[in-house]
Structure 1
Amino acid sequence: MADRTRAGNLAALAALYFAQGMPFGFQATALPVFLRASGVSLAGVGFAGALALPWVAKALWAPLVDRFGWERIGRRRSWILPLGALLALTCAATAFVPPSRNLGALLALVFLMNLLAATQDIAVDGLAIDLLGRGELGLANAAQVVGYKVGMLVAGGLLVWASAWIGWGGQFGAMAALVLLATLASLALREPPASEIEARDRRSLREVLATALAALRAPGALWVVAFLGTYKLGESMVDMMFKPFLVDAGFPPHRIGLWVGTYGLVASIAGSLAGGLLAHRLPLLAAVAVSSALRSVTMAGEWYLAAAGSPTAEAVIAVTVAEHLFGGAVTTTVFAFMMSRVRRSIGATHYTLLASVEVLGKSPAVWASGALAERLGYAGLFAFGTAISFAFLALLAPLRERKTVEARA
């Protein structure tokens, strides 16, 4: 019975993360293709990454999610349900605003989708921390990452591919329906009652903020923040410009959506599952180190495609699958490590703070990627991103040393 309950909880959480993954999947995977195909400059495509700002800034309002909630329907669920409904409505509205009609309105709606999904994510992360035990990390984080990435695959890959037949309106009408159905999965979860310590730590906004500050001042916390803020710098700038590179190489948008948004995300999902098993079997920091090193090696394939010139479809698919496979593994292992450092009493706030650092760290690289590509060329940018990815692996060493010191204490 316990195993069945655990499986049900993980499935419901995966469905909620699926809903949040769709807006970001469209922005990160499909929007650059549509923008470039509409004649937007590389700098403009890169700056469109700023639409993900709510994922960076959500820590500013995360304490409100920890502090407030209607216990009668569930403290977390009272946030999850209305936000999911609003997200579905926003997707439905986007169905009437194709890029050719009103680009400004489209970008505003994408921003709103990210704002609603990011806020819902705060509540879902808090719910996951409330439900999961420490021994469930790894596999649980695989469900978290896989659910999110399946949402990205659907919105950024499959629906873009299907838009050739169902059109722009059908693409976003389907997104709206899927978001609404996935959000209803929260009704299947039973929120555990708060302990006395948890209730004390979030009885006021002042208490929530004081507890979060104490957690960030704990031994080793700053090294964790430094690693989370830098480990995806290189990957982010390369990934943002890889799709425009394929457009400029002569590949049509629907094929790019299939290769990167579908094949790549399928490989990423497989990597996320493998990363969950790795984190379940190895010490979390060791799992992070192995997956991060392998991810950095495979990033060199994108540089090779740009440097060689005139890439073939087969080469693009092979490089995409390899890079996404190990990129998925490192995401799951890092998220499991991150969740292991969270103070449960303010789980939504603390985890959101760390997740915001992770997003904030890679955001400048995304925004500057277009300008760097114009200056360095695609090959130069991809080589620079790969070198950065290797360099910041050195930040794992202080985390290992801190762990050793804490173990001796």
Structure 2
Amino acid sequence: MKRKLKTVFAMLLCSTLLCMTGCWDNKELDSLSIVTGIGIDTGKEPGNLDLSFQIASVQNGSKKEGGGGEAAPYLIRESKGRFVLGGIDALRYGNSRQLFLQHNQVIIFGSDVAKSGVKPYLDSFMRNTETRMEVWVLVAKNDARSILSTKTEQDKISSVALTRMIMNERAISPYSSTNMLQFTSHLVDRSTAPVTLVVERREEDGLQILNFSGMAVFKDDVMVGMMDMYQMQGYILSMGEVNGGSLEIVTDLGNADLKITKSSCKQEIVLGDQGNITFKLKVNTVLAVGALQNFRGMDINKVISLVNGKAKEALETKIKACFAESQRLQSDIYGIGAHIHKHHPKEWKTMESAWASIYPKIRLELEVETNLGSSGKISESLNMREGHE
């Protein structure tokens, strides 16, 4: 009996000890360099890259050791190399902490790197088991390092600020941003041209701010141009559901600031008997008045009719401007070729090799409907009544 009790006691003791032990492969926080942003720029030496890694600071308290004020929220570590992996390894050799990439928010390509082709660098990240496929891919209007080193006012870590800015954009439209999975899937597709947001750093009233200034357009993996925000809005309206945004209307009688409440787009791709292709877009947009200026002495119904007509013209112009620019760049950003490949595989076989020259010849057939509804809490501008009897 005593032997049995001793055996039971020993088993309970062992199980208790096992419960108290931690996971053998856990990584302690103070042994890691948590990477939150990666920048890739063309190196000063031919064939080399300048790599920038934004690393979040991990402090036990909010003050620097020795009482020297608040700790910096991040630090920038740099390395040089011909390949991304070599640059990461070089940084690891000179670092007391292990680089941890699983919390990385953004991969930013400098414009020079983007113009030379990004496929080799994306290949490195995709092979790295720590890289998340959901990481956002951006192009810096100039260099990537300056974006990562920007000290923004609200979010102290610029990569976190960029992620939150992207999520704000995606609340309006999911087509405004691109992660690594979406970018590489378009590369594999070969006919659809990837696009990414362009980010730039500016100064306003002595403060550094980050701002999205448009989108980068690629042909295969090489950036062939940048579209401004005007053209980018045309692209977003052409791709599907839009749940926000604004539209400025300027006329000889007055001006209006409109809110895009909701917009939808139906796409149709028609192949003609002679091999000609028509890209049909039917856009339906619901608008609301954000502000009215002037329109002195005019009836509100006439103002709404005038502004609604001008809004329709403005949306048509934006959509056409984006489509024309994509044709000039020979970059199928709409996925027209992918649609033909899927639904007309026989015809696609004859088009695939010459798609870059076929795409600029596609005819756009555009139909835009606008419905200007709510005028807000007040119907007229503060000076519209002037001149009324």
Shorter-chain TM-score: which interval?
under 0.3
More helix by share: 1
Could you say which structure has the larger radius of gyration?
Answer: 2
Determine which structure has greater relative contact order: mean sequence separation of CA pairs < 8 Å that are 6+ residues apart, divided by chain length: 1
More strand by share: 2
TM-score, normalised to structure 2's length?
A: 0.21
